[in-house]
């Protein structure tokens, strides 16, 4: 097993960007993948361990050592004893043919519903409204603003009611 390089890093009170974090915070320090700054990030690194691509077995060994050290620090229970238990390839228990069939079905649904690639119904309605507004463009903008202003005044004026002196509604 490789010697872990992980060290705790906690900046309290400030938002830290991924670029601000030191290499020692990552499960894969060379690739700067899977940052582990708290318990939830450690659990996330374990869950996504098999999704990391283009890393050697030695790098996986180092990453698992880092995850183990971080899990111990943050009090996360880790039942796995080695990275081989987490694996190299994502396990969806679906064959390539099943994934291909599912992708084709999704594409057919998107085509049928005309969704995807910026053609949502809301965008279509907005485009229609914008086109209709452009067609109805008034001759002068001043005339339309005056009309709007006068209608607002009429709508906002209230009828004043007067009460007789000495009468009460209670």
How far apart are the C-alpha atoms of 13 and 35, rounded to whole Å?
18
Look up residue 132 and give its two tokens: 């209709």
Is 49 within the bounds of a domain?
yes
Is 5 within the bounds of a domain?
no
Residue 168 has pLDDT above 60, yes or no: no
- Residue closest to 66 by CA, chosen among 154, 130, 155, 2: 2
Residue 13 has pLDDT above 50, yes or no: no
Among 54, 85, 116, the domain-final residue is 85
Look up residue 85 and give its two tokens: 């238990």
Tell me the pLDDT of the chain averaged across its residues: 77
CB atoms within 10 A of CB 69: 19
How far apart are the C-alpha atoms of 107 and 98, rounded to whole Å?
14
Is 9 within the bounds of a domain?
no
Report pLDDT digits (tens) over 32-79: 899 898 899 999 999 888 888 888 999 999 999 999 999 999 999 988
Same domain, residue pair 110 and 69: no
Average pLDDT over residues 20-40: 89
**The pTM is what?**
0.51
Is 106 within the bounds of a domain?
yes
Residue 149 has pLDDT above 60, yes or no: no
Same domain, residue pair 73 and 100: no
Domain that holds residue 70: 18-85
Same domain, residue pair 78 and 23: yes
Could you tell me the pLDDT band of residue 155, with boundaries at 50, 70 and 90?
low
Q: What are phi and psi of 39, to 5 degrees?
A: -60, -40
On whether the CB atoms of residues 35 and 25 are closer than 8 A, the answer is yes
Is 74 within the bounds of a domain?
yes
Q: Does residue 135 or residue 47 have the better pLDDT?
A: 47
Is 155 within the bounds of a domain?
no
Report pLDDT digits (tens) over 96-122: 888 788 888 888 887 777 666 666 667
CB atoms within 10 A of CB 81: 10
Residue 11 has pLDDT above 50, yes or no: yes
Same domain, residue pair 105 and 47: no
How far apart are the C-alpha atoms of 131 and 16, rounded to whole Å?
44
Average pLDDT over residues 8-21: 66
Same domain, residue pair 39 and 78: yes
Same domain, residue pair 101 and 74: no
Phi-psi region of 151 (alpha: psi -120 to 50; beta: other; left: phi over 0): alpha
How many Å separate Cα 16 from the centre of its chain? 17
pLDDT score for 28: 92
Is 109 within the bounds of a domain?
yes
Is 63 within the bounds of a domain?
yes
- Residue closest to 26 by CA, chosen among 35, 38, 17: 35
Among 17-26, 81-90, 115-124, which stretch is predicted with the lowest mean pLDDT? Answer: 115-124
Same domain, residue pair 99 and 55: no
Residue 142 has pLDDT above 80, yes or no: no
Same domain, residue pair 71 and 120: no
Beta-carbon contacts of residue 107 (< 8 Å; ≥ 6 apart): none
Strand partners, 28: 33
Same domain, residue pair 22 and 53: yes
Counting the structural domains of the chain, the total is 2
pLDDT score for 84: 84
């Amino acid at each position: 097993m490789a010697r872990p390089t992980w060290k705790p890093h906690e900046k309290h009170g400030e938002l830290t960007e991924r670029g601000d974090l030191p290499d020692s915070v990552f499960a894969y320090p060379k690739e700067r993948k899977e940052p582990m700054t708290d318990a939830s990030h450690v659990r996330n690194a374990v869950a996504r361990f098999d999704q990391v691509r283009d890393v050697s077995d030695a790098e996986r060994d180092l990453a698992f050592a880092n995850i183990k050290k971080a899990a111990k620090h943050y009090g996360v229970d880790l039942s796995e004893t080695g990275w081989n238990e987490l694996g190299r390839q994502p396990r969806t228990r679906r064959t390539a043919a099943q994934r291909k069939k599912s992708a084709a079905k999704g594409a057919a649904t998107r085509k049928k519903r005309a969704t995807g690639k910026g053609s949502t119904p809301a965008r279509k309605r907005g485009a229609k409204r914008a086109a209709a507004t452009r067609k109805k463009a008034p001759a002068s903008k001043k005339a339309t603003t005056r009309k709007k202003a006068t209608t607002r005044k009429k709508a906002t004026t209230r009828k004043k009611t007067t009460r007789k002196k000495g009468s009460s509604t209670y």
